[in-house]
Amino acid sequence: MAILKEIRKNLPYMKAIIDCNSFYCSCERLFRPELDDKPVVVLSNNDGCIVSRTDEAKLLGVAMAGPYFMAKPIIEKFGVSTFSSNYNLYGDLSWRVMETLRVMLGEENVEVYSVDEAFLDLKGFDNKNYFEVALHIREVVELWTGIKVSIGVAPTKVLCKVANHLAKKNKIATQCVVVLDTKATINDALQATPVNEVWGVGRQYAEKLKEMNAVYTAYDLCKKSEAWAQKNLGGVIGARLIKELNGEPANEMAKEQLTVKKMIACTRMFGQTVNNIEDIKQAVATYTSRAAEKLRRQKSAATTLSVFVLTKEPTNAGHFRHGNTISHYTVLPIATCATNELIKPALEIVDKIFVKGKRYKKAGVILSGLVPDQTIQANLFVPEKNNNKRKLMDMIDNVNFAMRNDILKFASSGTKRDWKMRVEMRSPRYTTRWNEMYVVK
């Protein structure tokens, strides 16, 4: 109780961050329980890089964010289970985790930070033991969703991230929960945290701090002044970071989640390099359709459309070279969310940016200048059947949502689609497809 009194005297309440452990891998393990305590990795789009790995895979030397082909010898030698990204499954299980937190704490006390992280406002628990509260939250989330999580509790968001880092670093000893509720525990945690692990300090900043200012740990950083941080750590953001490391909240909880995006994009790597303009057009038409669906979902219309392609450059002397990005945009005569009205200018841009003889590995469509679609006036000189495309688009969206797999699509999207991303090791979409549901024998 003495600790709680000390907290309440200095701060009105505590915050927490809940972070799913190796989230993509945890989703795969949920329906493959035989993989518990076994090494597992999940690959990025097009099976290119490793984007999630379990602790067991880490101990074998599998590098995070490393190319799959470089880790393949280790993966094959030790029989590491490997999966292509299954975003339908991950998105659904993420929603279940976040919804569990909203049920437990109230929607206003949960700020979703990413697909596998959320900040929690613990103002309703200021008379409780924070470790027991966090442990209870962890157990309920794992019981209701099957996803294992770690929790860091502290007075500020930055310190919550520090606590969570320590919780994940030694899961058995900490029970995946670390609470920083006194000056002593905060100082110990900061001294045990390398400066590059501080939320908001990137790798380049960390090297700069070590070389110029002998800042090696989070504790070294917290001793710097706010004026110094404004000069050396990105202005106001750096000053807020110093405040948070010293237990002074500077990044408050977002009470309203961002539901309307200011820009919508759909970009994908091709499954294999493409040099045919027709394949590029099919891909761009498909990505435009995806972006238009997202646009209609938030009841917006776009005024500007951009298209880009990324070239595949030859590798010289074993050195990787990033390809050139070629892009162009057009301002639409009238803001629209109709797929056909977006595909036509998108394909015209492809004609402008395509260079014969080049090989391409990626393409993308970006919709910007978004406005509410209800504010768009109909054209007096256009027949009513052509003026009311929103109803047609809504009907197509509903059919595709119910039947899946783009059962209704525009001809310009093609049917063969040899350029689609590789997902050769994707697991079934257990929770979002009737024909892929988990079978209990």
SS (H, E, C) the chain: CHHHHHHHHHCCCCEEEEEECCHHHHHHHHCCHHHCCCCEEEECHHHCEEEEECHHHHHCCCCCCCEHHHHHHHHHHHCCEEECCCHHHHHHHHHHHHHHHHHHHCHHHEEEEECCEEEEECHHHCCCCHHHHHHHHHHHHHHHHCCCEEEEEECCHHHHHHHHHHHHHCHHHHCCEEECCCHHHHHHHHHCCEHHHCCCCCHHHHHHHHHHHCCCEHHHHHCCCHHHHHHHCCCHHHHHHHHHHCCCCCCCCCCCCCCCCCCEEEEEEEEEEECCHHHHHHHHHHHHHHHHHHHHHCCEEEEEEEEEEEECCCCECCECCCCCEEEEEEEEEEEECCHHHHHHHHHHHHHHHCCCCCCEEEEEEEEECCEEHHHCCCCCCCCHHHHCHHHHHHHHHHHHHHHCCCCCCCHHHCCCCCCCCCCCCCCCCCCCCHHHCCCCC
Residues 245 and 309 in one domain: no
Q: Is the pLDDT of residue 5 over 50?
A: no
pLDDT above 70 as % of the chain:
89
CA 4 and chain centroid, separation: 35
CA-closest candidate to residue 330, choices 304, 297, 298, 308 = 304
Question: Of 119-123, 283-287, 319-323, 372-376, which gets the smallest average pLDDT?
Answer: 319-323
Question: Of 67-81, 213-227, 374-388, 424-438, which gets the smallest average pLDDT?
Answer: 374-388
Structure tokens at 404: 């899946």
Asked whether 182 and 9 are in contact (CB, 8 A), the reply is no
CA distance 239 to 224: 10
Residue finishing a domain among 136, 171, 186: 186
Q: Does the residue 148 lie in any domain?
A: yes
Q: Is the pLDDT of residue 11 over 50?
A: no
Question: Of 203-212, 289-298, 400-409, which gets the smallest average pLDDT?
Answer: 400-409
Residues 230 and 102 in one domain: no
pLDDT mean over 297-304: 91
Residues 277 and 234 in one domain: no
Whichever domain contains 406, its CATH number is 3.30.1490.100
pLDDT digits (tens, 9 = 90+) for 380-423: 555 555 555 778 888 888 888 777 677 788 888 887 776 677 77
Residues 200 and 111 in one domain: no
Residues 105 and 4 in one domain: yes
* pLDDT at position 321: 62
Structure tokens at 268: 């994908």
Q: Does the residue 438 lie in any domain?
A: no
* pLDDT at position 261: 83
Residues 132 and 212 in one domain: no
* pLDDT at position 254: 67
Residues 235 and 325 in one domain: no
Residues 208 and 278 in one domain: no
Residues 169 and 204 in one domain: no
pLDDT mean over 105-113: 92
Residue finishing a domain among 209, 241, 257: 257
* pLDDT at position 45: 81
Residues 271 and 395 in one domain: yes
Q: Does the residue 106 lie in any domain?
A: yes
Residues 312 and 355 in one domain: yes
Which of 71-80, 235-244, 322-331, 369-378 is predicted most confidently?
Answer: 71-80
Q: Does the residue 418 lie in any domain?
A: no
Q: Is the pLDDT of residue 318 over 60?
A: no
CA distance 420 to 274: 11
| Average pLDDT, rounded, for the chain | 87
* pLDDT at position 259: 65
Q: Does the residue 439 lie in any domain?
A: no
Whichever domain contains 226, its CATH number is 1.10.150.20
Residue finishing a domain among 203, 230, 257: 257
What is the side-by-side order of every strand in the sheet holding 40-43? 50-53, 40-43, 81-83
Q: Does the residue 70 lie in any domain?
A: yes
pLDDT mean over 257-282: 85
Asked whether 111 and 253 are in contact (CB, 8 A), the reply is yes
pLDDT above 90 as % of the chain:
55
Whichever domain contains 109, its CATH number is 3.30.70.270
Q: Is the pLDDT of residue 322 over 70?
A: no
Q: Is the pLDDT of residue 273 over 90?
A: no
Domain tally, the chain? 3
* pLDDT at position 101: 96
CA 208 and chain centroid, separation: 27
Residues 71 and 88 in one domain: yes
Question: What range defines the domain where residue 277 resides?
Answer: 264-413
Would you place residue 319 in the very low, low, confident or very high pLDDT band (cuts 50, 70, 90)?
low
Q: Does the residue 421 lie in any domain?
A: no
Global confidence as pTM? 0.81
50-53 and 177-179 beta bridge pairing? unpaired
**Residue 228: CA atoms inside 13 Å, Cβ hemisphere, count?**
12
* pLDDT at position 1: 34
Q: Does the residue 197 lie in any domain?
A: yes
Q: What are the residues facing 336 on neighbouring strands?
A: 302
Which of the pair, 58 or 215, is modelled with greater confidence? 58
CA distance 290 to 339: 9
CA dihedral sign, ordered 190, 193, 198, 204:
positive
* pLDDT at position 306: 96
